[in-house]
Structure 1
Amino acid sequence: MSEMTPREIVSELNKHIIGQDNAKRSVAIALRNRWRRMQLDEELRHEVTPKKHSDDRPDRRR
């Protein structure tokens, strides 16, 4: 991925996925953010990594 911007990531996704523009944008931003976090020192990475909460997502079992 090197230093691709979210716009460049979306451009690559457009080659394989039709429509779903909001989803592609969200994925591109998430990928870029993850890549940027991985470039940080371990100590700082821990501070900026999103915390996982069980109540962040709706229960899909209903």
Structure 2
Amino acid sequence: MVIYLAGEVDEEVRLDDMTPRQIVAALDKHVVGQRKAKRAVAIALRNRIRRQKLPPEMAVDVMPKNIIMIGSTGVGKTEIARRLARMSDSPF
């Protein structure tokens, strides 16, 4: 599965090749604060992509981690999820 993210200079950057730090930098353009939350979801997304690249017999042993985001109204939980969905071309 190849996921593309449109870059700033009209070039396409593969989300598959992005590090969690680069994913956080992309989220920083749209979400203010929430440093720990952005880092956690970036790592989870990167691990999900890596797991999908494994052969099926190995992927069975690598369990994906789920994330529950809790917090007050208006702190950015939905926006982080919405931006990640857009970056990974997933439905929201």
SS at match of 2:33: coil
Consecutive unaligned residues of structure 2, counting only runs of 5 or more, are 1-14, 69-92
* Aligned-CA RMSD value: 1.9
**Percent of pairs identical after alignment?**
55
Matched, 1:39 2:25: no
Structure 1 regions of 5+ residues with no counterpart?
A: 58-62
Q: Residue 32 of structure 2: SS of its match in structure 1?
A: coil
| Inter-partner Cα distance in structure 2 for 1:2 and 1:50 | 17
Count of residues paired in the alignment: 53
Which structure features the higher share of helix residues?
A: 1
Which whole-Å deviations, capped at 9, do the CAs of 1:1-55 have from their partners, x for residues lacking one? Answer: 1210000000000011010000000000000111100000111001112478xxx
Give TM-score, length-normalised by structure 1. Answer: 0.76
Whichever structure has more strand as a proportion of its residues is 2
